[in-house]
Homo-oligomer: A and B are copies of this chain.
Amino acid sequence: MRGEKIPVGILGATGIVGQRLVALLEQHPWFEVTEVAASDRSAGLRYEEAVHWLLPSPIPERVRRLVVKECAPGLECQLVFSALPADVAAEVEPEFARAGYVVCSNASAHRLEPDVPLLIPEVNPDHLQAIAHQRRRRGWARGFIVTNPNCSTIHLTLVLKPLMDRFGLRQVMVTTLQALSGAGYPGVTSLDIVDNVIPFIKNEEEKLETETRKLLGRWEGEGFAFAPLRISAQCNRVPTLDGHMECVSLAFERRPTREEIIEALASFASVPQQLRLPTAPARPIVVREEPDRPQPRLDREVERGMASVVGRIRPCAILDYKMVILGHNTIRGAAGAALLNAELLLAQGWLP
User: Which of B199, B249, B292 meets A312, CB within 8 Å?
Assistant: B199
Residues of B within 8 A of A241 (CB): 191, 194-195
- A-side residues, CB < 8 A to B, are 16, 53-54, 56-58, 171-173, 175, 177, 180-181, 185-200, 209, 230-232, 234, 236, 238-241, 245, 247, 249, 291-298, 300-302, 311-312, 316-319, 322, 324
User: Which of B194, B230, B247 meets A236, CB within 8 Å?
Assistant: B247
Q: How many copies does the complex hold?
A: 4
30 residue pairs from A and B, CB less than 8 Å apart: A54-B298, A56-B300, A173-B173, A177-B177, A180-B194, A186-B191, A187-B190, A188-B189, A190-B239, A194-B194, A194-B195, A194-B239, A195-B240, A195-B241, A196-B240, A196-B298, A197-B295, A197-B296, A198-B295, A199-B293, A199-B311, A199-B312, A209-B317, A230-B317, A231-B318, A232-B318, A234-B247, A234-B312, A238-B239, A239-B240
Closest B residue to A291 using CB positions: B200
Q: Determine the distance from Cα of A197 to Cα of B293 in the docked complex, in whole angstroms.
A: 10
Query: Does the CB pair A173–B249 fall under 8 Å?
Result: yes
Residues of B within 8 A of A249 (CB): 173, 232, 234
Known: A173-B249, A197-B240. 5 other contacts (CB 8 A): A186-B191, A187-B190, A194-B241, A199-B294, A199-B295
User: Which of B54, B175, B232, B292 meets A198, CB within 8 Å?
Assistant: B292
